[in-house]
Amino acid sequence: MEWDCWEQVPKHRAEQFQNICAALGLVIANHEGPECPTVQLFPTCTWIHLHGRACTGKTKTLAAVRAMLERSEPSVGWLHVDCRTLVSGEQFMAAVAREVYAIAGARELSVPEPPARWNLPLFMHTLLELLERLEERDVFLVLHLEGIEWLRGLDDFSRILASLRRLSFFADRCRGATTTGALLRWSVLVESRLPPSRLFDPVESSYAPDWTLYFPPYDRAALRDILLQHCAFANAVQPREAERPQTPESSGRDLCADAFVDTLLDVCHDLTNDLNELSYWSDVLYPKYAKAWRPRPGHAASLAGAYSACLPYFRQAVAGVYARSTKQSKECIEKMNALHGQRTWREMLATESRLSNALVLAGYLAAHIPPSHDRKLFEKAAGGVAGRKRRRGPRVHEETGRKTRSFSLERLQRLLEAISERSMDAELRESDSLIRWSTTPPTGAVLAGLIGQGFFSSVTQARSAERQRLRCYVSRELAEHVARKFDMNLSEYISET
């Protein structure tokens, strides 16, 4: 878990932050005024289960709690165990013991050397002894178990977790007490994507947290604020100053980032509210969007209803891309063309900025849709195509009989960038030969290209039978037509594989 001693409370997670502090027994005074609030700790010795989908602010909220404790309560020792890197129950016990040994060493306690191998009785006895030694120094421990759902399939892990849950009871039995005495000075924060009822079998484990806190997905307003901040700090490419007019209404806001985030949420929010996925689209699309963005506030009023009328079709087209449905995406584009007619359609592309921006975004979404929403798998697949050395002739389309050539993702991106930098005349926008659709089993074709520039290209993603790869195919006729119009040599972009 990455953290900073001055970590601020994540926006839109103030309620969860206060609930965690209350569960840990933290009383925060004047936290809204000075930079360093006054914190009083009354250890509750509780188990707190935090659950919610990925990228809902769980880790960032806990980082803010840790930062506040580090700078205000020196008697607190924070133990962090990343369960996603562990593959056995013995590794889990060793990781927890290693963190406790580190806290004891920082307090200059003389402790014996840790054993080379761990089992449950030895782990419980060693942990209890270390906790009692730290309790003499008035040290309060907070154990943070991150990603604990990754361990639920391991043998005996439910028994290990249940033993940790009953550690106070074991301490009383070891002390010879007949009744439960003072609780141990430690609390456990369990961070998971699953609720406790789905995490472990209740028959095998007596794991029952004292507190259960749910982190709901961000709503649209929260996503907009987070994505605006993401565009401001994570993306280096910004529009030129001449293309960013500052008006009294803008109040210094980045107009390009506002337009991009609004359009991204208009198109994608009904499909996904996953912050990780939307941040990925922001990383991929915003630099290109900012480069091609043109503010035309004077024409927005004349075609105010066009964007609202076409927006459902944008959503359905992108939904077809998500579902790998060529038919759905194609039908939506045809409905948009029939709705406004080609003349009005070209006029909207040339004049109405928000509609044009939405088309650019929809095209880039389709062009960069990965076979899986996992970024690493996408990059691995793209790199596999680029690094493939086996050569073969052009691929023949099954329905049209046209020859196609394989593009690596990087070369296709270079081609689209080169085309976008050149001006497109009316003849090119009206050319029917640029509208190409293809269906290549098993994944089908997706809409791609610079749609907002009045340009349609056919991009096909195919999946190899023996291994997953990302492939993009463009018809030879389309490539030759673009080469003639732009006087370009496409040999540097086309790669036979």
Residue 390 lies in a domain: yes
The larger pLDDT score, comparing residue 280 to residue 24, is at 24
The larger pLDDT score, comparing residue 333 to residue 112, is at 112
Q: What is the mean pLDDT of residues 478-490?
A: 48
Q: What is the mean pLDDT of residues 297-314?
A: 47
Residue at a domain's end among 215, 247, 278: 215
- pLDDT (tens digit, 9 = 90+) per residue, 241-262? 434 444 433 433 467 777 778 7
Most confident of the ranges 14-18, 29-33, 299-303, 377-381: 14-18
Say what the pLDDT of residue 207 is: 65
Give the C-alpha separation, 381 to 470, whole Å. 5
Say what the pLDDT of residue 144 is: 92
- Judge if 347 and 474 occupy the same domain: yes
The larger pLDDT score, comparing residue 455 to residue 21, is at 21
The larger pLDDT score, comparing residue 96 to residue 54, is at 96
Give the C-alpha separation, 4 to 70, whole Å. 10
Structural domains in the chain (count): 2
- Average predicted confidence (pLDDT) for the chain: 62
pLDDT beyond 60 at 282:
yes
- Indicate the burial class of 492 (C-beta count within 10 angstroms; 0-12, 13-18, 19 or more): exposed
- Judge if 305 and 198 occupy the same domain: no
- Judge if 308 and 456 occupy the same domain: yes
Residue at a domain's end among 215, 244, 270: 215
Most confident of the ranges 67-81, 278-292, 401-415: 67-81
- Judge if 312 and 459 occupy the same domain: yes
- Judge if 305 and 178 occupy the same domain: no
- In this prediction, residue 114 has a pLDDT band, given cuts at 50, 70 and 90, of confident
pLDDT beyond 70 at 398:
no
pLDDT beyond 60 at 34:
no
Residue at a domain's end among 166, 182, 215: 215
- Judge if 199 and 306 occupy the same domain: no
- Domain with 137, as residue range(s), is 14-215
Give the C-alpha separation, 319 to 328, whole Å. 8
Residue 252 lies in a domain: no
- Judge if 426 and 313 occupy the same domain: yes
pLDDT over 70, % of the chain: 44
Residue 460 lies in a domain: yes
pLDDT beyond 50 at 108:
yes
- Judge if 315 and 203 occupy the same domain: no
- Judge if 203 and 314 occupy the same domain: no
Residue 233 lies in a domain: no
Assign residue 156 the CATH number of its domain: 3.40.50.300
Say what the pLDDT of residue 206 is: 60
- Judge if 300 and 211 occupy the same domain: no
Residue 237 lies in a domain: no
- Judge if 322 and 421 occupy the same domain: yes
The larger pLDDT score, comparing residue 61 to residue 417, is at 61
Say what the pLDDT of residue 215 is: 92
Residue 383 lies in a domain: yes
Most confident of the ranges 61-65, 318-322, 477-481: 61-65
Residue 236 lies in a domain: no
Say what the pLDDT of residue 331 is: 58
The answer to pTM > 0.75 is no
Residue 82 lies in a domain: yes
Say what the pLDDT of residue 461 is: 28
Q: Residue 100 CB: number of other CB atoms within 10 A?
A: 23
The larger pLDDT score, comparing residue 286 to residue 103, is at 103
